[in-house]
Amino acid sequence: MEPLRKTLSIHTSPHIASGADVARIMRHVIYALLPVCGFAIYAFGWAALLTLVVAVVVCWLSEVLFCRLLRKPATLADGSVTITGILFALTLPPGLPLWMTVVGAFAAVGLGKFLFGGLAANVFNPALVGRAFLQAAFPGAMTTWSPVLAADRFSQIPSSLLAAPFMQPNYDTVSSASPLALLKFEHTPTPLGDLFLGTTAGSLGETSSLIILLGGAYLIARGMMSWRIPAGILVAVAVVGGISYVADSERFGSPLFMLFSGGLMLGAMFMATDPVSSPVTHRGCFVYGLLIGLVVVVIRNWGGLAEGVMYAILFANAVSPHIDNWLQPLPFGRKPGHGRERGS
Amino acid sequence: MGQAGTGAARNGTGPLFRTLVGLGVVCSALIAMVYDLTQPLIRQQRLEVLEEAIFSLWPQGRAMQSLRVDAAGELSRVDAAAPTDDVAHAVYDANQRLLGFAIIASGMGYQDRIALLYAYDAREEQVKGIRVLESRETPGLGDRIGYDKRFTASFATLPIPLDDDGRLMNKLAAAKPGTRSQPWEIDTISGATISSRAVVDIVNRSAARWLSVLREESEKESR
Amino acid sequence: MAHKPINIPVVTAEPVDTDVFIKGLWRQNPIFVQVLGMCPTLAVTNSAINALTMGLATLFVLVMSCGLVSLLRRVIPHHGRIAGFVLIVATFVTIADYAIQAVSLEVHKALGAFVSLIVVNCIILGRIEAFAAKNDLKPAVLDALGMGLGFAAALLVLGGVRELLGSGSIFGARLFGESFAPWVVMLLPSGGFLVLGVLVLGVAWLKTGQAEESK
């Protein structure tokens, strides 16, 4: 097959460049993520640093490998894969063996990104695909949480991190339950202040809501991120969580607990807002956010799992083309109800 | 498909009828023949699997007799290799002395039906062990009911006394991991709560049906 | 991917027959290329022994049914042929079912209803309808052998990968010792989808490479 020689290149809109190219946006997202990483390292020490470094490096290597295999130009420099690596690492529990991190990072880039054709063609958020793969493959290790702010976190590397490839990790400290698991399985709520500041057990990046909120606010202020998606998620979680709390305050967490626990903030600010896998239209973004929030509360309250942010976002990723289709703005000059072409 | 069916055979129901009946006769003859050949082997297999399971629970056991209970609570002897769920097996040692019973019980688990075998010692009024025969529980989580040492160990000497009317004095109860405080409580496996509860329920239901009948049978034998 | 057609021993000297046999192994592999018979492919390949048993049972049913249909193709009336084919296939499936039970109850239990479901495996009716009902005994059996072996080999690869990652063993022999961390997903049906998808991708990729080279 000979490639078509292009004399005229056809683009979809937008046609006016604003200077906000992929690399520049990605750079700012990385800036916003740095404090989150910093806090993760402060809270979990060597474990967090090693997990972050390994995840990012493996994502880079996988990106280079797949670009070679598919004979595509390398897309390493635009920074998107670095973000995939950082976000993926931030969703992991701090004691996870590094070899599992390697498997997951490879799956994130391979299954999440290149299977669909590379940057901007992925249906799902690659970081979450990597995490979902690990969750399905190693459910035990993915729900074993190391204690936060352990005294020896900077003096020694946890032995579970260094488990030999394909072998089960040995945890040297007693694992502590995450706030969501505590509420769901032991009916013990966690103080809100701890949740807000991040001094609770959990994944690397799901602990401090405060720092994540600041990072998100920075991106919104710079106009690099749609505020409608996080707004939709937070509104839906607050409202649906509020209703269920009023209905049964024994069993379900309060809306504030719902908002500040687990991966909700990280998911709302950095995962759901992935421009590739979220809707294009303004109204679509809001609907998409509401859907995620609703599914999160449903999974947390009535599902078998303690946390549902990952599956909620992946589910909404799958629905987002339909949301776009449904809320497609009318082309200029067309009357409502006439010749609306769908599913092109 | 011009070659298949020629000439007069193309329409009419007569030839079709004849062919299908002919085929049917030949095929059923073939199946019957294979059935006759394989049936003894299959029975042998069933028996071996069952014996292996029962004698792993009763290491001193050398012989067994399968029992079934009818609606009126009467015991009858049945053929061991019959593929049925609702059977208890009396286990005897080398001197033909009754050791105890191994009871097959089944019920719904998390994914699908769980079938298990548990040993009942009527003299000591204890469950002496448990073994999962069939389960499709989630690998790595729910299927630990079959091999989690701590979980199976809680069935190793589990008192299950009956009152004078032959009812369970205490139903077995599932407790959260590590919170077992009563002799009739069983620690569930963390991450496999539903499957562990299912096992406890299955044993409870089966015990209510079997234990009093088997205790009588055991008293009769020792007299 | 050890099943490149080059090294397969040639059954007859006639080139047509050779091609009839080898096309099912690679070029028209029922699983990786035609993507047929997905139900047993995904359901029972969680261990190598299950996959192999399923593959051999299907191979047996395929060869016997194709042979018998080819012999009877002038006797079975055209408009009642499907009923006749199903009758023949069901007979051999029942025989295979008894045989598996007689050899190992454990494997039979693991395969569950999927042995009986070989009756509705589209590879079998497909090969009968498309090939055996139109050809003589020898090509019909060769075609069935090729397709059946291709199916069995593909199943074995799938089952091998899933058992290796899911249980750390091959045919029950543990390769990594006791502390192996099982990839639970590989034992679940979703793992079947994942591995099958990756294998189909790999085969398609290899074939494109071959086609480009031969140009």
ipTM score here?
0.81
Whether A117 contacts chain B with CB within 8 A: no
Summarised one tens digit per residue, pLDDT across range A142-169 is: 888 888 888 788 888 888 888 888 888 8
Name chain B contacts of A143, Cβ cutoff 8 Å: 191
B213 in contact with A, Cβ within 8 Å = no
- Interface chains of chain B (3 or more CB pairs under 8 Å): A, C
Residue of A124, A162, A166, A311 to mutate, interface with C, max C Cβ within 10 Å:
A166
Kindly list the residues from chain C whose CB atom is less than 8 angstroms away from the CB atom of residue B49: 105-106
- What are the chain C neighbours of A131 within 8 Å (beta carbons)? none
Which residues between 19 and 78 in chain B have a beta carbon less than 8 angstroms from any beta carbon of chain C? 19-20, 23-24, 27, 30-31, 34-35, 38, 41-42, 45-46, 49
C12: pLDDT confidence band, cut at 50, 70 and 90? very low
Chain B segment 152-191 residues within 8 A of C by beta carbon are: none
pLDDT tens digit sequence for A314-343: 999 999 999 988 887 777 777 665 544 444
Least confidently predicted of A173-182, A221-230, B88-97, C24-33: A173-182
Q: Do C184 and A139 touch (CB under 8 A)?
A: yes
Look at residue C215 in the predicted model and tell me its pLDDT. Answer: 66
**Average pLDDT, integer, range B156-180:** 83
- Does B13 map to a domain? no
Residue A293 pLDDT greater than 80, yes or no: yes
Average pLDDT over residues B7-19: 70
For C99, other C-beta atoms within 10 Å of its C-beta total 20
* C13 pLDDT higher than 70: no
pLDDT on residue A132: 94
Instruction: Give pLDDT, residue A327.
Output: 84
Task: Return the closest-CA partner of residue C128 out of C58, C66, C60, C61.
Answer: C66
Q: What is the pLDDT of residue A19?
A: 58
Amino acid identity, residue A102? V
Does residue B181 belong to any structural domain of this protein? Answer: yes
pLDDT at A15: 62
- Locate the domains of chain C by residue range: 17-208
Residue pairs spanning B and C at CB distance below 8 A: 91
Interatomic CA distance for residues C161 and C48, integer angstroms: 8
pLDDT of residue C10: 45
Asked whether residue B25 is domain-assigned, the answer is no
Total beta-carbon pairs less than 8 A apart between chain A and chain B: 7
Region A218-226 average pLDDT: 87
Residue A304: other Cβ atoms inside 10 A = 10
Evaluate if residue A184 carries a pLDDT over 50.
Answer: yes
Task: Tell me if B27 is assigned to some domain.
Answer: no
Q: Would the CB atoms of C190 and A167 count as touching at under 8 Å?
A: no
Please tell me the distance from the alpha carbon of residue B59 to that of residue B78, in angstroms, as a whole number.
23
Domain with B170 in it: 42-222
Q: Mean pLDDT in chain C?
A: 87
| Percent of chain C at pLDDT exceeding 70 | 92
- Chain B partners of C109 at a C-beta cutoff of 8 Å? 134
- Kindly state whether C208 is in contact with chain A, defined as any CB-CB distance less than 8 angstroms: no
Q: Do B35 and C78 touch (CB under 8 A)?
A: no
Specify the higher pLDDT residue, A339 or B85: B85
Rounded to whole angstroms, the Cα distance separating A233 from A249 reads 21
Closest C-alpha among A238, A258, A44, A256 to residue A160:
A44
Whether A141 and C181 lie within 8 Å, measured CB to CB? yes
Tally of structural domains, chain B: 1
C176 in contact with chain B, both atoms CB, cutoff 8 A: no
Is C42 part of the contact surface with chain A (CB cutoff 8 Å)?
A: no
Residue type, C59: L
Q: Tell me if chain A has a CB within 8 Å of the CB of C176.
A: yes
Residue B211 falls within a domain, yes or no? yes
pLDDT tens-digit readout, B30-51:
999 999 999 999 888 888 888 8
- C130 to chain B, any CB pair closer than 8 A? The answer is no
State the DSSP H helix or E strand holding residue C111, giving kind and residue range, or none if neither.
helix C105-111
pLDDT tens across B124-161, in order? 889 999 999 888 887 777 888 888 888 888 898 888 88
pLDDT in tens, A260-284: 888 899 999 999 998 888 898 888 9
With cut-offs at 50, 70 and 90, classify the pLDDT of residue A125. Answer: very high
* Segments of chain C assigned E as strands: 169-170, 173-174
Q: Which residues contact A285 (CB under 8 A, 6 or more apart)?
A: A226, A228, A229, A232, A278, A279
Whole-structure pTM value: 0.80
Residue C55 is given by DSSP the state: H
Average pLDDT over residues C89-102: 94
Reported confidence tier of residue C137, pLDDT bands at 50, 70, 90? very high
